[in-house]
Amino acid sequence: MKNKLIKTVCVMLVATILFSVATVGNAFAKDFPDAAIDTQVGNANGLEKEDGLWVFYNNEEIDYDFVGMAKNQYNWWYVENGTINFEYTGISENKYGSWYMKDGKLDLTVTGMVKGDDGWVYVKNGKFDSTYTGMAKNDYGWWYINNGKLDREYTGLSSNQYGVWFIKDGKLDYSYIGMTKHEGKWYYISNGTIDRSFEGMAKNQYNWWYIKDGCIDYSFKGLAKNEYGWWYINNGCIDRKYKGIARNKYGLWYVSNGTIDYKYKGTCTNEMGTYNISNGKATRKKMKLCSSWKYSYALDIPQIADTTSSWNLILVNRNFVLPDGYINNIKLSYATSNTSERLDSRVAPYYQRMYNDAFFQGVYLTPCSGYRSYNLQKNNFENKISYLVSCGYSKKDATIKASTEILPPGTSEHNAGLAMDITSISQSFESSAAFRWLVKNAHNYGFILRYPKDKQSITNIIYEPWHWRFVGVEAATEMKETGQCLEEYLGVVR
């Protein structure tokens, strides 16, 4: 009975030992799925412990020439001179790949840059990752990794979790300021990253360019400044062949060979009209006064409107009257298919398109008053004068006051067929959905709010939220971006 009990205890003890060894081996195999770990001790080939020291056997003899990875029941190890080298940290290989060894032992916890015998490489879960291309960090900074290896020849952009960065000779360069190309697109770099706050000129090996939101703005046309002066930009870069008038925030200027010509004196005509040039500055040429003006007892005699400008940019206001016969030669078309209001036939298609697009968004841009004949404008104006006189104003004062609300005949954009009063001739129109839609979208169809609230001192017309003037898509877009009214845009500000 006693012998039987001893035998049972011995069996249980052996089973416990075997289970423990199997558990260690299985746990290691789980952490290292690429290889099946042989947990048997005492192989003819491999690591074996003797007198507390692990030695490497090959054909039953200690192999002092072997250098590389070997395994025991606990892990993979780095072997050199016949035993584990616990001081080794770097990259080593086995038949499953290249691995990161730390203090002689395989380290599956590391993901990132590590240094091997041939340089810095990228490992993922301890294994060299030849598929990785991108940025990685070590103690010396951020670097560019290509196919798992540090690429010191790479110069360009790359990204990490913090943004997009400029890499020079494989390393993030915080000092770089300038332009660089990435995936076919040019970017402006400052302090090592794309500077989306920068707006202005920058240079690459081909030209000077206009930068906005961190990259070349190919749509920009106009004057921009660098350390050498003001330059004319077309399609995003300096146009050294350009000769004519261009604008900056200080006004209109004469440009020759792509830059402001401060020595030029003379005249220049473009789509905005005819200008006198002095020391490079362009000012609108004064036109002849209207000899047939009948309101000179109260109002300044206006100049005859400059018809050398493009038809869509002709300036018509209290200071500029349409020439005799101009109104009679305007070809008219209905503004929309369901209205009797008309516009210049060149404007009507733009209004129809704007009307349709707004309609499909649930907004109604009902034409209220478009083209007006000279006689109709004359009657409206003089009826207003008569009404004010009946209210106690002198004829002179009545005429002056009337001209701030209704323009004298020949000085209204309605006479030119270029303007439309939309939906309601009322200040309340400002709070309507139609007005909000127009403010956001009208420039895309070539229309501007002609008499803004903050420009009354320039236009000399009360705020009219209902009055929208056609100037063309390019001019309307530029005026919206710069916040200018038509007088400012044309350089005609008294």
State pLDDT tens for residues 410-437.
999 999 999 999 999 999 999 999 999 9
CATH number at residue 164: 2.10.270
pLDDT in tens, 76-121: 999 999 999 999 999 999 999 999 999 999 999 999 999 998 899 9
Domain assignment of residue 139, yes or no: yes
The whole-number pLDDT of residue 96 equals 94
> Could you tell me if 193 and 240 lie in one domain?
no
The whole-number pLDDT of residue 404 equals 83
**pLDDT over 70 (residue 1):** no
Domain span at residue 55 reads 26-128
> Could you tell me if 443 and 382 lie in one domain?
yes
**pLDDT over 80 (residue 2):** no
Domain assignment of residue 370, yes or no: yes
Give CA–CA dist 324/251, Å, rounded: 31
Domain assignment of residue 296, yes or no: no
> Could you tell me if 400 and 461 lie in one domain?
yes
The whole-number pLDDT of residue 494 equals 59
Of 284, 312, 330, which residue constitutes the final position of a domain? 284
Partner residues linked to 211 by β-bridges: 200, 216
> Could you tell me if 309 and 442 lie in one domain?
yes
The whole-number pLDDT of residue 328 equals 86
**pLDDT over 70 (residue 34):** no
The single residue listed with the structure tokens 């002609």 is: 450
pLDDT in tens, 358-410: 999 999 999 999 999 999 999 999 999 999 999 999 999 999 999 988 889 99
**pLDDT over 50 (residue 11):** no
Domain assignment of residue 15, yes or no: no
The whole-number pLDDT of residue 29 equals 44
**pLDDT over 50 (residue 39):** no
One-letter amino acid for residue 319 of the chain: N
> Could you tell me if 271 and 176 lie in one domain?
no
> Could you tell me if 447 and 321 lie in one domain?
yes
> Could you tell me if 271 and 317 lie in one domain?
no
Of 83, 98, 128, which residue constitutes the final position of a domain? 128
Domain assignment of residue 364, yes or no: yes
> Could you tell me if 330 and 456 lie in one domain?
yes
> Could you tell me if 358 and 278 lie in one domain?
no
Report residue 140 as tokens: 């010396």
Domain count, the chain: 4
pLDDT in tens, 174-231: 999 999 999 899 999 999 999 999 999 999 999 999 999 999 999 999 999 999 999 9
Give CA–CA dist 191/430, Å, rounded: 45
pLDDT in tens, 270-317: 988 999 999 999 999 999 999 999 999 999 999 999 988 899 999 999
Domain assignment of residue 392, yes or no: yes
What integer is the mean pLDDT of 27-41? 40
Q: State what percent of residues in the chain have pLDDT above 70.
A: 91
Task: Cite the active site residues.
Answer: 464
What integer is the mean pLDDT of 434-448? 98
> Could you tell me if 338 and 425 lie in one domain?
yes
Domain assignment of residue 270, yes or no: yes
> Could you tell me if 447 and 342 lie in one domain?
yes
The whole-number pLDDT of residue 112 equals 96
pLDDT band at 21 (very low <50, low <70, confident <90, very high): very low
Domain assignment of residue 13, yes or no: no
The whole-number pLDDT of residue 460 equals 86
pLDDT in tens, 41-86: 334 478 999 888 999 999 889 999 999 999 999 999 999 999 999 9
pTM here is 0.69
Of 284, 319, 335, which residue constitutes the final position of a domain? 284
> Could you tell me if 75 and 119 lie in one domain?
yes
